[in-house]
Each structure stands twice: as C-alpha cells, then as structure tokens.
C-alpha cells in the first residue's frame, strides 16, 4: 500500500521544523513584493556557484508564509541585455528542476566526487538567461503548505513568481520569454503558458501586472495526452528503429495488456474518479514498465541496461544522479543558496507523483491549452529523443498528427525534413507548420540535453532566435 500523506504528527513536526529552518537561514539580500499579489513575496540572494562568470539570483517565492518555492536564476553568458529569458521546469510531477540544471542543460554538472561542479560549455544559458524553479511544494528545495496536486494550482504560483520577478528586474521583462521542460512538463508548461497568455490579454483582472513577452514553449519527451501516447508502448518496445528490446512472447503479451491500458485511460477521462485514474498508473507501471525491469533495460533509454536491484530507480539507471543529491545537501552549498543547513534535499518526491494521480491531473490531456497558445500565435516546439520508452517519440509523433487546432491539416501535409546541425551532423527530423514543430532527435533517450548536448544546444538556439532548423 502506498502512503500518500504523512501522519498528523509527522506533518506537524516537518512543517514546524522547516519553518524554523527557513526563519533561521542566512540573511536575504532583498525581499520583493507586488501590490497585485499581497500573499506572495520573493526572498532573494546572489550566490556564486556553478557559473561564477554570470549574475545569479536564488531564493524562495513565499506564498502567505505557507508555501516556499525555490528558484535559481543564471544570466546569459552572451548578451543578457538582449538574449531571451527561459524558465525551465522538470516533470515528475515531483522531480527537482536541479536535475535539468546539473544533469542536462544548466551552466554546470556535478563532479564524480559530488563535492564540486564542472563547467558545461553546452549550457542553454550560453545565449539565454535561465530560471530553474522547483515546483510544486515539497519538490527539491521547495517546501511547506498543503500538498499541491493539480497543474492549475501549480500554474498560479508560477505566474505570481514571474510577475514579482519581472517587476523587480524590468530589464528582463522587456525580452522574449520562453517556457521549457520535459516529461510531465507536457502538463505543467501549457497550463502556465495559458495563464500568462490569458492575463496578458486581460489586464483589468489583475492591476499593475507586467506584460510577459511569451514567445514559445518547448516540451521534451512530454506527456501531453496519455490516451493517444500510451498506445505506442508495444511498437516502441518491439518494433522501433533500435530493434526489439523484449522477446517475442513478452511483446505479444504487451500488446494485449496495452489494449486494456487504453480502456483504463478512457475510463479515467470519462469519470475522473481518483481510483480509476490511479489504476491507470498502477497498471501501466506493472504491465508496460515491469517487463523492462525484468529484462534489465532502461525504459528512459532502450539502448542502455539498468540494474534495478538498486532501491532508487532513477539512480539505478543513472548512477551519477546520486552526486546531485550529495552536492545539493552540502552545508556550504545550501548556505550560499539561502537554504538552511539542516534541510534535506530530495531529487524526486513520490508523494507528489501519486497525489497528482489521485487528483486525475496526471492522466489528462493538455491539448486545449496548447491549441489556445497556437491560436494566439505562441509557438510550440515538441521535441523527443527517439530512444525513450516511457514518453516515446512514436506516441508523441502520433499525438501531433491528431491534436486538434486550426493547423491540424496543414501540419499533417507538411514534409518531414532532415535536421542538420551547424556542425553538419544529421541529428534528426522535423515537421513544422505555422509555429507548431515536432522534432525527433536521433540517438537520445529521455534526457535529450544530457545525451546530445551539442545537438540540443543547436536546436535550442535556432528555436529561441527564430531560425530555421
């Protein structure tokens, strides 16, 4: 049985401990507020970690003294007065965005001893200023308040954060702004972008707000619509360009089980019952993922083995991730970032994961938000490493074709075009129409910027500066 909440005693003890830790933490450089968001404020520090060549800010968005969302900002290495601003959010739900920072696309990675950092020459902050945000609460360094279990509630806090941040740093507010993330970011990012776009066009609803120049969203190996995407587990496992990963009999059983999985997804969509929606997650984990575990394969990258005897599944497949936890829990690092030394950092919170499942927010489509963005001329890039199984490119490609918006027909008629990087490498294929682009990336699993750092920086820079692939 999975325990979804702490006992009352544990909860009270945890909240009191964290509040005391927060009050006792290092002095903040500045406290930021906004008249339109009286229950929100930002506590700000200026750390000197990871990339000492750029201006940094870190701290917390405090929400009515209950919720505390951690963020870390890095200015562009190139031209921060003109380069775009990008907010990166990891998925999960409940996975820290420091995974994206340290493991994928941030200014540095963690060394093999877990006691220092290594400069990342392929960081996305080469030509953009980056914000990494841990949300919802109890993700990464974030804590406090009631457990958030749906994307809409999470989106409102992010919008308040951006308003306070841009009011203070109005030089960044004048620049193009992009939202980027992966996995469950396929749910988080469209909801956040929808709020930004809505309030940009309805200033009377909130006074004195900053117009956020939302230019696009970028979703990597995202979960946009399980009803469409889950149908392609058998094809990815047994008929991908990398060859079959599972044996013939397992593949036959997988196809049978997948039909039932789709029926469970439909039931969740129709009834939105907590038990029905959680049954989807349990069944998918048991019938679609478990064969990979038994075969010793990494379902985030079917090209690689994974030793599932390790208790933490992520670390089992990517042992280097343990160094992120080790480094993030160093007392000197936490002090520099404004985190109390007694705070224990966790890269992934399964309680959040399952709470989103019970709310029905995990098994739901984000189509309506993405459609609204495209109709407002906000560009959408869907990219996918083609060796990922869990959020596989076959299902994502299929979704882009049936996803309904005014450009559906035009998108499906558009040619599939080779993507040649600036260095001359044939790194993938893309299809694009009126601001909607799907990019398949060769030889990459779930964590594209980690697996293909040079190529990922190439497509990222082309996208944010509106250049052709």
> Are the beta carbons of 43 and 62 closer than 8 angstroms?
yes
Find all residues with CB under 8 Å of 125, minimum gap 6, and list them: 51, 54, 74, 75, 76, 77, 106, 107
Which residues are known catalytic residues?
183, 388, 446
- Backbone phi, psi, residue 315, to 5°: -70, -30
Q: How far apart are CA 199 and CA 197, in angstroms?
A: 6
């Amino acid at each position: 049985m999975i325990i979804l909440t702490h006992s009352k005693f544990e909860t009270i003890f945890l909240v009191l401990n964290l509040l005391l830790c927060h009050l006792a933490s290092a002095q903040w450089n500045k406290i930021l507020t906004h008249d339109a968001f009286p229950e929100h404020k930002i506590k700000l520090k200026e750390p000197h970690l990871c990339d000492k060549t750029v201006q940094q800010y870190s701290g917390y968005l405090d929400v009515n003294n209950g919720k505390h969302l951690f963020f870390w900002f890095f200015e562009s290495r190139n031209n921060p007065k003109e380069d775009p601003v990008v907010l990166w959010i990891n998925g999960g739900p409940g996975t820290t965005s420091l995974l994206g920072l340290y493991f994928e696309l941030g200014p540095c990675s963690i060394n093999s001893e877990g006691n220092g950092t290594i400069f990342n020459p392929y960081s996305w902050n080469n030509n953009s200023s980056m914000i990494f945000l841990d949300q919802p609460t109890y993700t990464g360094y974030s804590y406090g308040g009631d457990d958030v279990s749906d994307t809409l509630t999470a989106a409102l806090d992010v919008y308040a954060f951006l308003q306070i941040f841009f009011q203070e740093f109005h030089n960044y507010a004048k620049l193009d702004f992009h939202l980027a993330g992966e996995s469950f970011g396929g749910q988080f990012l469209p909801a956040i972008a929808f709020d930004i776009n809505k309030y940009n066009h309805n200033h009377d609803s909130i006074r004195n707000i900053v117009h956020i120049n939302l230019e696009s969203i970028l979703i990597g190996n995202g979960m946009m619509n399980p009803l469409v995407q889950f149908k392609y587990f058998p094809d990815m496992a047994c008929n991908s360009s990398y060859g079959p990963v599972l044996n013939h009999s397992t593949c036959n059983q997988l196809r049978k089980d997948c039909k039932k999985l789709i029926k469970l997804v439909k039931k969740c969509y129709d009834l939105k019952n907590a038990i029905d929606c959680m049954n989807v997650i349990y069944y998918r984990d048991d019938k679609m993922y478990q064969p990979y575990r038994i075969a010793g394969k990494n379902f985030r990258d079917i090209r690689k083995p994974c030793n599932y005897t390790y208790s933490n599944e992520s670390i089992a497949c990517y042992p280097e991730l343990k160094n992120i936890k080790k480094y993030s829990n160093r007392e000197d690092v936490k002090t520099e970032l404004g985190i109390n030394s007694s705070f224990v950092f966790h890269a992934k919170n399964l309680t959040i994961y399952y709470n989103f499942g019970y709310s029905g927010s995990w098994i739901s489509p984000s189509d309506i938000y993405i459609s609204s963005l495209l109709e407002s001329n906000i560009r959408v890039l869907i990219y996918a490493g083609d060796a990922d199984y869990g959020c596989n490119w076959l299902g994502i490609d299929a979704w882009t074709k049936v996803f309904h918006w005014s450009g559906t027909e035009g998108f499906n008629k558009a040619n599939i075009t080779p993507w040649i990087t600036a260095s001359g490498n044939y790194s993938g294929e893309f299809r694009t129409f009126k601001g909607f682009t799907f990019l398949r990336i060769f030889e990459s699993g779930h964590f594209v910027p980690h697996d293909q750092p040079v190529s990922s920086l190439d497509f990222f820079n082309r996208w944010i500066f509106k250049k052709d692939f």
